[in-house]
Structure 1
Amino acid sequence: MTDILLSFLAIREQPFAFTVYRKLYDGAQKTEDSLWIYPLPEEPGDDEFKRYYVAFEPIPGFVAYECPARANRNLTCRVLTLMVQQRAEAAGIDHSTKLRGFHNSIDLYTESFTKGKRALVLEPYYLESKRQFGFLVDVRFRANKSYPKGDAETLQLSFSNSRNGGVNKNFYGDKYNYVTAQLSRLLPQLGPLVWQDLQLSLVEAFSTVTATTLAKKQYIFKNDNYDYNQFSGIRRYGPYRPGPSDCTFVFLLEERYRAFANKLFLSLTGKRNPDTFKGMHEMFQVDIGKNNIVQIPLLDTSEPHLAGAVEQVRQLQTERPNEHLITIFVEENNHADEPGVSETYYYLKYHLTKLQIPLQVLSHEKISVDSTLKWSTSNIGLALFAKLGGIPWIVKPSISNCLILGIGSAHKFNDQGQIERFFAYSVCLDSSGIYRKLEVLADDHSEESYLSALQRNLVSLLGSPEFAGYTKCALHLPFKIKHREIDSIKAAIEKVRSMEFKVLKINVKNKFFGYSNHNTKTPYASTLVELNPHEFLVWFEGLQQGKEVLNERISPPVHIEFLHSAHTSRESVYPYLQDAINLTGTNWRGFNAKVKVISIYYSSIITDYCTHFEQFPDFRKDMLSLHSPWFL
């Protein structure tokens, strides 16, 4: 076990109570912005709660109520935010407050730049594991609307990039130093926090929470041999499951890329860079040579010429019905924000997916340099192998016979921002990381019909014969999924009695952060912090034991919440958390691919494809339901 410094400042005086003014809710719509509606006990200690109008200033007809902090955590968090706001105003600190629904936070601006402001973000929170109220603290760069997000300067000001413009390997250390320095300056100005007769103060140091470490990912290869590294395992043992032996590689390219395509071909055969990639046959047991290469020349990437190229691929598919085709397209770059670039990619991706032919797109700008191609070929080969249906490796699961369903949605919005078509799907995997299928669950213009279909089709999917051997199921839900969708999913689960279920809501972009005691302040990979019995923080990447050297920017922790669980003992949830970490190791987009839970990551990729595929008049959602991972 180790400790994590959770970026949380606890309130010193606990427990505490504060005065508000309330009136029993009569069902009428709230008309005053100064009124809020909260459930509260009629008397302290009552188990029964009633809904009240709540005001923070005396109002005729409202009664003063001494509210214990734990009576309604959302109300307490709102009051705490207002207390900081009052102190910021009194101290002349530039700030902005967000009070929206259950969200309460305040930005304390620390520095101004041409493109925006840096801010310490304080968000009230109840840390259940310590039974303490306090504030989560982080630093954010708030870019001005007139400047694009994600440019070099804004990335540097948000600590994502270093001062020299590269990826910030010292992301955690830089954030820790900045936040603690600004807190040392601001906390004396903010204290004490005052609410009528109540005075509260903040502990100056971050809270120390106990962390545990989940097991290291173990990769399984041919003949069930295992290794802790994907690349060395493939080289030593070969892929877990071979790809097809009868492959045809179709190169689709303009004449100006022919020399590059020849270099790529030689590199894939292992003849050009054998020290870094021995070849498709040696690495993946897939042959590539002049006898199974077809070249389709492109005059340019205008739609008529692209359509003609797709037709040639279709004819080739007809002529070779027993062969597995894969198309390789070379474009200048893959900058999706540049006109004409993404349109070409999505045109080919759409029409070839309709033909059930995988597509690999390569950026000439990124990998045409010999040294880059040398180190990129293994990743290109891996992607080709996986798209052809091969399984390079799996992970050793924590739970056997466990089905993983990544639930995603890709709703279509009108110009007013309202949903005009509802769409949900499921990426079906098992706990070893093997992709099973993609299933459309619901597609409808009516929300009610959509929710009904979501429930009905999920029950049908879980009860299908192909999943009969699974005794457990973990549903992975993205953070943005709507409450009514979650209710339909829960209702479906209630109707399936043959499986044990766990529902995990996985939030990659969340409000939590934490630091280790290592001099880099970076936690170790697989570190786990329990916020309460059903909410956890997990570091999917981080320092490696015995190799405490940072070669890349380490991402923030992922927040995982268990929904719909009768009990959440460590014994019941830790295996599911372990498998969530394990699934980050089966991203076959590259040997050094992003460390993300593929059930959620693949869902986000599919959502992006659906958004772009909507531009084609003949797009039908059922064309996505393939047993091969076409979206890789």
Structure 2
Amino acid sequence: MFDRKKRFEQRIALNFLPLVQQDFSFFVYRKQIGVGSENPNRERHNGVRRYRLPQNLALQTSDYVDCDVSFSKIEGFEKVKIYAHTNIHLTKFLLMEALQKKCREHLSKQDYLVGTKFRNTISFVLAKTDVGDETVWLEPYFLKETGKFGFLVGFHFKVKEGIPLNRKILQYSLSIGSDGRENKNYYVDIFKKIKKFISKYHSQLFPFEIGDGVAITISWPMQDVRSEQLDTKLYIFSNEKKDVSQFQGIRKHGPLVPVRDDSLICFMYRPEDKPLSYELYHALKGDKYATFPGMDAMFSFSFGNEHVTGLPLNGYDSQCIDAAIKQLLLVSGDRPVLPLILFPWSRMERTTEGEDCYYRIKHQFLANRLPTQFVSLQRIRGRDGLKWSVANIALAVFGKLGGKPWKLSPKHERCLIIGIGQAHRKDGDKISRYFAYSVLSDSSGLYDSIRILSKSENKEHYLDGLTVKIKEVIAEFSDRFDKFVVHTPFKLKKDEITAITSALDAVQSNKTVVVLKFNEKSKFFGFALGNNSKVPYESSCVALGGKEYLVWFEGLQYHNPTVKRRIARPMHIAFVYSSKELEHADEISYLQDAINLSGANWRGFNAKTLPISVYYAKLIAEYIGHFDRLGLPEIDIEDLPPWFL
């Protein structure tokens, strides 16, 4: 049994290589700038950049002023001595410039690549392949939690231009193993790539000089930091029964809220696929696989003629689907109904034709207020058939019919989670239509609804609408909830965050409002060096400082620390707004609810990489984007069961 006390002693090494030297100084040339000058804190010309520096460098309490800064002598600029912590951004830029200089002096141009203006990195080539280059990148960074400068380090496979995604690329990217399956050694393999970089390049790059005789080098091996352990997820089922397992819990106790007794599932298939529809039917009934006991045993939904019917399709073109929808509505009447469509294209083997057809049919049914469940013929025909997928198909069917399989034990009661999503339309690099919506759930993970927040071709109108609608949503739910927590994706722009927070500023003072920003593809990573797999335990949390955290929504299980599949990257979470001052314990409690929400995903029994507030919004954006791409008319996506599961 895993010792809970040891959980709190777990040490995690961040992908951060601190400098051995932290208290150093360097010289720059600066010119103080008057108030109102243009182009603050951006590169200007001839290597001159703008930073805020103390007006009087001799006084620790001096006010900061805007200065043009250069590392080279320029007429009219004064030479001044700067300390590492005087301006963190300037020091990071210095480290980058010095590292680039060392690369130019000691490496060939084929060995490294300088990043773009969006990522201040240098990538070093470990190996070249026929489809791309294995690289490890460095990026200057200041870790606020420890107050140390250093370099973030990470692995990236840079694909050659013009080469489509294929199995080789996935293997070189470490996504899949040499056997073609999920790479269970993902963390170990990334760690090995970083070690290979150290072995190949460290002596050529470090130490490097930053002037005034100061030599900079990095610490290796990585230094671990203290982590905290959030609580494991606790699921709640029928009659408030609890379990740590979604599957076993619902099997033992039954669903939290069953579907309506008169609900109907309609199998829809081409005549030649009817035998496969029987395969699917018996799998869902629980007659075929030991992995799934059946809809009745799991979801208290009998699978007899009273709940199941069938309808043949003459084809998948628009006319055939329209005719099928009319017939389905006639058969179902006022009953809740879910079309279960056998589909000849697989999302795992995507073709343009199949993908377009899928989204067009999905749209046709949604336009008639009908969620759908697709099952590919390839999946049914596969070697293991539906053995490993039937339980997830059944779960999605149950949710789309309006059932609620489980909720979670929340940290905050009477708390509404507002997940923000976007589906902007782009013409090239320019946005031609702005569109934002929200996925609403409570902190126990119970899905409520989708609300359109704002859509406009004019950015200002869109931002104004965003502010107004956020106010309306909070006003509508203020009788039921005392806390409102907004979850936003990383790609949300600064002006959109401002529009949201300006709405939150108007919320009455007896309510608590918090905004968290999630990034599942951040530059941060971490390793549990004490584990052979290098994977931290699930629910591990590392503070980065500045109200930023790194959280493992997936990881080793305490009762069985064996890696059985690829473990996802940790989630970067930042607190960007709060109506009240938050202590560290408060922040941890909101992170706990985010972890819990990852277990509220009704799309699959093991789908828990993202909180549903972020994940559902992401799914909806994908659907709306494809509907828009195909030129399909806008439809009302509000007030439906979770059709996107």
Contact 1:187 1:204 in 2 (8 A): no
Secondary structure of the structure 2 residue equivalent to 1:70? coil
SS of 2:90's equivalent? helix
| Mapped partners of 1:91, 1:165: distance in 2 | 38
1:5 aligned residue (13, 22, 37): 13
In the aligned structure 1, how far is the partner of 2:491 from the partner of 2:296? Answer: 42
Which deviates more, 188-197 or 371-380?
A: 371-380
**Secondary structure, in 3 states, of the residue corresponding to 1:196?**
coil
Instruction: Tell me which residue corresponds to 2:493.
Output: 482
User: What is the CA distance between 1:310 and its match in structure 2?
Assistant: 2.9
Q: Deviations over 1:99-128 (max 9, x none)?
A: 516x41111111111111111110111111
SS in structure 1 at match of 2:133: strand
What's the secondary structure of 2:91's corresponding residue? helix
1:310 aligned partner: 325
- Pair 1:158 & 2:151 matched: no
Shift of 1:467: 4.4
Using the TM superposition, give the Cα deviation of residue 189 of structure 1 relative to its aligned residue in structure 2, in angstroms: 1.0
Question: Where does the alignment leave 5 or more consecutive residues of structure 1 unmatched?
Answer: none
Number of the residue aligned with 2:115: 98
Classify the secondary structure of the residue corresponding to 2:465.
Answer: helix
- In structure 2, the residue corresponding to 1:372 is in which secondary structure? coil
Alpha-carbon deviations, 1:186-212, whole Å to 9, x = none? 111111121222321111221211011
C-alpha change, 1:333 and 1:467, in structure 2 (3 Å) is farther
Tell me the alpha carbon deviations over residues 126-172 of structure 1, each in whole angstroms, 9 at most, x when there is no partner.
111111000011111111112123x2111111222112222110111
Q: Does 1:276 align with 2:284?
A: no
Aligned twin of 1:235: 251
Whole-angstrom distance in 1 between the partners of 2:404 and 2:461: 38
Shift of 1:51: 2.0
Aligned residue in 1 for 2:191? 176
Please tell me the residue identity of whatever aligns with 2:315: D
Counterpart in the other structure of 2:229: 213
Q: Does the C-alpha gap of structure 1 residues 548 and 90 become closer, same or farther in structure 2, counting only changes over 3 Å?
A: same
Asked if the contact 2:517/2:575 (under 8 Å) is kept, the reply is yes
Of all paired residues, the percent bearing the same amino acid is 33
Query: Aligned match of 1:543 in 556, 565, 568?
Result: 556
The residue type paired with residue 82 of structure 1 is E
Task: After TM superposition, list the pairs within 5 Å mapping 1:456-495 onto structure 2.
Answer: 456-464=468-476, 466-495=477-506
Q: 440-449 or 13-22: which moved more?
A: 13-22
SS at match of 1:580: helix
| C-alpha distance after superposition, 1:359-382 (max 9, x if no partner) | 000011123237331332221111
Specify whether residues 582 and 495 from structure 1 end up closer, same or farther in structure 2 by C-alpha distance, changes over 3 A only. Answer: same
| TM-score between the two structures when normalised by the length of structure 2 | 0.93
1:143 aligns with 2:143: no
Correspondence for 1:326: 338
Who is 1:120 aligned against? 136
Does the aligned pair in 1 maintain the 2:369–2:640 contact within 8 Å? Answer: no
Q: Distance in 1 between matches of 2:206 and 2:388?
A: 55
The SS at the match of 1:286 is: coil
Q: Which amino acid aligns with 2:72?
A: E
Query: Alignment partner for residue 103 of structure 2, among 76, 82, 88?
Result: 88
TM-score by length of 1: 0.95
Q: Please state if 1:18 is matched with 2:34.
A: no
Match in the other structure for 1:167: 182
Letter in 1 for 2:313: L
Separation (CA, whole Å) in 2 of partners of 1:628 and 1:299: 28
CA distance in 2, matches of 1:309, 1:158: 44
Residues of 2 paired with 1:370 and 1:208: CA distance?
A: 44
Partner of 1:529: 542
Matches within 5 A, 1:562-573: 562-565=575-578, 567-573=581-587
Instruction: Please list the CA deviations of residues 539-592 of structure 1 after superposition, one character each: whole Å capped at 9, or x if unmatched.
Output: 111111131111000111110100123534222111100111111111111112
2:279–2:380: 8 Å Cα contact kept in structure 1? no
1:172/1:618 CA distance change after superposition, 3 Å: closer
Q: Is the CA contact 2:486–2:516 (under 8 Å) kept in the aligned structure 1? A: yes
Distance in 2 between the 1:108 and 1:247 partners? Answer: 58
| 467 and 387 in structure 1: CA distance in 2 versus 1, 3 angstrom threshold | farther
Please say which of residues 607-616 and 42-51 is displaced more in the overlay: 42-51
How far has the Cα of 1:533 moved from its partner? 4.7
**Structure 1 residue matching 2:360: 3-state secondary structure:** helix
* Aligned counterparts of 2:629 and 2:129: Cα–Cα separation in 1: 39
Aligned-partner residue type, residue 585 of structure 1: G
1:451 has 2:468 as partner: no
Q: Which moved more, 1:607-616 or 1:532-541?
A: 607-616
State the AA in 1 paired with 2:297: E
RMSD: 1.8
Query: 1:511 corresponds to which residue?
Result: 523
Once the two structures are TM-superposed, the CA of residue 617 in structure 1 deviates from its matched residue by: 5.5
